[in-house]
């Protein structure tokens, strides 16, 4: 040996690395590598007898320069591609999870002054003599220079570049994940809406990937500020991995830091930080989603990738109003829904081309017809107008298709049109909770119970901690006459939301159909003053044979302000055998329109009316597909 501390070259497979000239050759031909990629390869070769940690590699390749781990990951990915490794066959570089990397191939070392030194260095690596050799050498140097510039760019802007896809076969498979509420680092609690909005946006972008199951906002928000361990959260939500992080908004910029954690082992798999101008916040959201999808190696179609990459700019003031609208929308109270409408309207005025703001406005108006002190007739026009505008601006906005489908379902009884809109929403966003939920409700209304159950099961997977989903699941099984199966879902809904009187009444309806009248009365009494309480009690008394008491209750309800809940009263009269009064109420509702009659075809309490000729007339008036009078459409 000549006293050199390290070999001058390394041979492995068809490759030779000239350490002095920083040159990689394959079968004697030069292979261009950026300088930092070459340094990464040399560090792995020189320390191949052990695992080289990521921190050690970062120090050896970049010295004291602060570079994010993504730069190192990119280097290793480039090396693997250059050496011809396949994702499932790492014959040169192996990743040791949570530690670092190791070079595992057989290597032959050469020293410049050894007997074999001339043979170890191919002629192509000597100083170029001919014009052709000189041109080839300059070509390699140009590659080196371009590579150096590229790596400098990576080092300088690593926080805004996408990471390389993970290629370690030992990496745990991830096909489902939850995005936990991002922490607000602004120091200002009034900025919570911004962090929540960024959380929801990340969920929405990832949910568009068909191969990935992403838990919805409703369930993950239950863990906001909680001290629950990540493995416990992952178990509760039934996911492989969890994303957690923080958001900081300062002046006209936004910074987001996220990390990916394997759920069952609490192992940190990946971390990244991004920063953008507020005008580019939509692009930032798509970029983060793309980086996550690459890191977990989930299959992303060309269309899904293009969708995530196609986000444009947005007026920061309009986006702020939009996020405030989303923030108040989810509170579902009369006052908050009024605020939500106001914020969405301001967003559309500030940026008339902001399709998501118009879709949010349609959504907020619709909820005002449920919880916001407005009738469904009052909210129909503004909700429809906003949905139409959203679709004009962006026909590929899933939320807008859901809003339009909901209007066709609830107001128009356009069953086929509503089904087409919900279906289109799911083509665009296969994890869209609202689309699955309302498709389940529509299929239930039509009596297509297998399809209804399939969609509500998917909604349950997406929103496992939702009382609303569990209550709807119970209602579908009730109307499918699967009463025993409905009870656990309704009880689960009450566990998640104990004070929900409507769920108590739905449980009472199940017991009523099962002939468990004492349980039915007890459930209704727990429901308290929920709409339909008195009418439901009258129906139970009628089915118990206490007709006089039932009729007295119905007469009292007629003088109540606002009158009886007609759909429930019709059920009570049907239980009394008073078909004339039942049909009178049902036809009056059909004339008025609205979604309170949507489920008439499949309501068990109205089964006694199916043999009457007026039943088919009622169904035709509501545009139901006809099935010969059975009242329930086959799957």
Average pLDDT, the chain: 82
Check residue 70 and give its pLDDT.
66
Specify the pairing of strand 100-103 against strand 93-96: antiparallel
Note the pLDDT of residue 170: 57
Q: Residue 64's pLDDT is what? A: 66
Whether the CB-CB separation of 356 and 397 falls below 8 Å is answered with: yes
Structure tokens at 391: 């679709």
Q: Give residue for tokens 């159909």.
A: 513
With a cut of 50, which residues of the chain have pLDDT below it?
A: 1-4, 114-167, 628-635
Q: Please give the Cα distance from 42 to 254 (Å, whole number).
A: 38
For residues 299 and 302, what is the distance between their CA atoms, to the nearest angstrom?
Answer: 10
pLDDT value of residue 411? 87
144 burial via Cβ count (<10 Å: 0-12, 13-18, 19+): middle
Q: 440 and 468 in contact (C-beta within 8 Å)?
A: no
3-state secondary structure 151-191: HHHHHHCHHHCCCCCCCCCCCCCCCEEEECCCEECCCCHHH
* Nearest-angstrom CA–CA distance, 600 and 622: 10
Supply the pLDDT for residue 372. 66
> How far apart (Å, rounded) are the C-alpha atoms in residues 104 and 44?
9
323: which DSSP letter? H
CA distance 349 to 345: 6
* Angstrom distance (rounded) from CA 180 to CA 219: 9
Q: How far is it, in rounded angstroms, from Cα 462 to Cα 481?
A: 25
pLDDT computed for residue 273 by the predictor? 81
Give pLDDT tens digits for 210-237. 889 999 888 998 888 877 888 899 999 9
β-pairing, 183-184 with 241-250? parallel
The reported pLDDT for the residue numbered 68 is 59
The pLDDT of residue 129 is 37
CB-based burial of residue 516 (10 Å sphere; 0-12 exposed, 13-18 middle, 19+ buried)? middle
Supply the pTM of this predicted model.
0.69
> Is 434 within 8 Å of 399 (Cβ atoms)?
yes
Dist. CA 527–CA 544, nearest whole Å: 20
pLDDT at position 76 is: 86
| H or E element in which residue 508 lies | helix 501-513
List Cβ neighbours of 209 (8 Å cut-off, separation of 6 or more).
Answer: 293, 298, 299, 300, 304, 430, 431
Instruction: Quote the tokens at residue 588.
Output: 């009056």
Query: What is the distance between the alpha carbons of residues 525 and 522, in angstroms, rounded to a whole number?
Result: 5
- Cα–Cα dist 351/317, whole Å: 9
Which two three-digit tokens encode residue 485? 């199966």
Alpha carbon dihedral 489, 490, 495, 498, in 10-degree steps, equals: 160
In 3D space, the residue among 634, 633, 585, 635 whose CA is nearest the CA of residue 609 turns out to be: 585
Q: Nearest CA to 427 among 457, 391, 456, 402? A: 402
Give residue 121's pLDDT. Answer: 34
Q: What is the DSSP string of 560-601?
A: STT---HHHHHHHHHHHT-HHHHHHHHHHHHHH-SGGGTTGG
Helix, strand, coil % over all residues of the chain, rounded to 5: 60, 10, 30
């Amino acid at each position: 040996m000549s006293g050199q501390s390290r070999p001058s070259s390394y041979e492995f497979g068809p490759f030779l690395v000239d350490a002095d000239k920083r040159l990689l050759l394959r079968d004697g031909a030069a292979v261009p590598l950026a300088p930092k990629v070459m340094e990464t390869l040399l560090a792995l070769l020189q320390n191949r007898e052990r695992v080289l940690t990521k921190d050690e590699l970062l120090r050896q390749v970049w010295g004291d320069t602060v570079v994010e781990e993504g730069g190192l990951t990119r280097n290793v990915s480039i090396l693997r591609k250059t050496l011809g490794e396949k994702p499932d066959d790492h014959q040169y570089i192996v990743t040791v999870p949570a530690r670092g990397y190791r070079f595992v191939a057989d290597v032959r070392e050469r020293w410049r002054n050894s007997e074999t030194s001339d043979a170890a260095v191919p002629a192509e690596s000597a100083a170029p003599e001919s014009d052709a050799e000189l041109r080839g050498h300059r070509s390699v140097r140009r590659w080196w220079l371009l590579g150096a510039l590229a790596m400098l760019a990576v080092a300088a802007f690593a926080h805004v570049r996408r990471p390389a896809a993970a290629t370690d076969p030992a990496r745990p498979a991830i096909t489902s994940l939850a995005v936990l509420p991002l922490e607000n680092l602004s120091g200002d609690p009034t900025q919570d809406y911004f962090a929540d909005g960024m959380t929801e946006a990340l969920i929405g972008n990832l949910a568009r990937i068909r191969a990935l199951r992403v838990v919805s906002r409703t369930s993950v928000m239950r863990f906001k500020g909680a001290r629950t361990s990540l493995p416990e959260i992952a178990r509760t939500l039934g996911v492989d991995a969890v994303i957690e992080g923080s958001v900081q908004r300062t002046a006209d910029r936004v910074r987001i830091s996220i990390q990916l954690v394997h759920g069952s082992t609490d192992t940190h798999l990946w971390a990244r930080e991004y920063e953008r101008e507020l005008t580019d916040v939509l692009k930032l959201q798509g970029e983060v989603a793309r980086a996550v999808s690459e890191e977990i190696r989930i299959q992303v179609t060309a269309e899904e990738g293009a969708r995530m990459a196609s986000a444009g700019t947005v007026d920061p003031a309009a986006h702020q109003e939009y996020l405030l609208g989303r923030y108040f929308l989810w509170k579902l109270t009369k006052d908050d829904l009024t605020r939500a409408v106001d914020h969405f309207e301001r967003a559309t005025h500030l940026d008339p081309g902001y399709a998501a703001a118009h879709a949010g406005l349609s959504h907020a108006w619709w909820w005002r017809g449920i919880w916001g002190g407005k009738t469904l007739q009052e909210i129909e026009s503004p909700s429809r107008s906003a949905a139409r505008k959203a679709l004009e601006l962006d026909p590929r906005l899933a939320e807008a298709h859901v809003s339009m489908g909901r209007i066709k379902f609830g107001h128009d009884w356009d069953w086929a049109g509503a089904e087409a809109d919900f279906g289109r929403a799911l083509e665009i966003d296969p994890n869209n909770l609202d689309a699955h939920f309302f498709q389940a409700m529509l299929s239930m209304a039509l009596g297509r119970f297998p399809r209804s159950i399939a969609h509500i099961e998917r909604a349950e997977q997406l929103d496992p901690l939702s009382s609303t989903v569990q209550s709807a699941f119970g209602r579908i099984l009730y109307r499918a006459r699967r009463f025993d199966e409905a009870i656990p879902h309704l009880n689960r809904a009450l566990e998640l939301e104990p004070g929900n009187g409507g769920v108590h009444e739905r449980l009472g309806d199940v017991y009523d159909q099962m002939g468990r009248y004492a349980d039915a009365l007890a459930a209704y009494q727990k429901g308290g003053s929920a709409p339909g309480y008195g009418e439901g009690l009258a129906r139970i008394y009628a089915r118990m044979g206490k007709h006089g008491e039932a009729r007295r209750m119905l007469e009292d309800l007629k003088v109540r302000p606002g009158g009886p809940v007609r759909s429930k009263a019709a059920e009570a009269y049907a239980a009394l055998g008073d078909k004339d009064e039942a049909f009178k109420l049902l036809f009056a509702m059909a004339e008025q329109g609205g979604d309170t009659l949507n489920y008439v075809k499949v309501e068990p309490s109205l089964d006694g009316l199916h043999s009457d000729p007026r039943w088919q007339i009622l169904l035709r008036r509501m545009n139901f597909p006809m099935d010969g009078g059975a009242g329930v459409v086959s799957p």
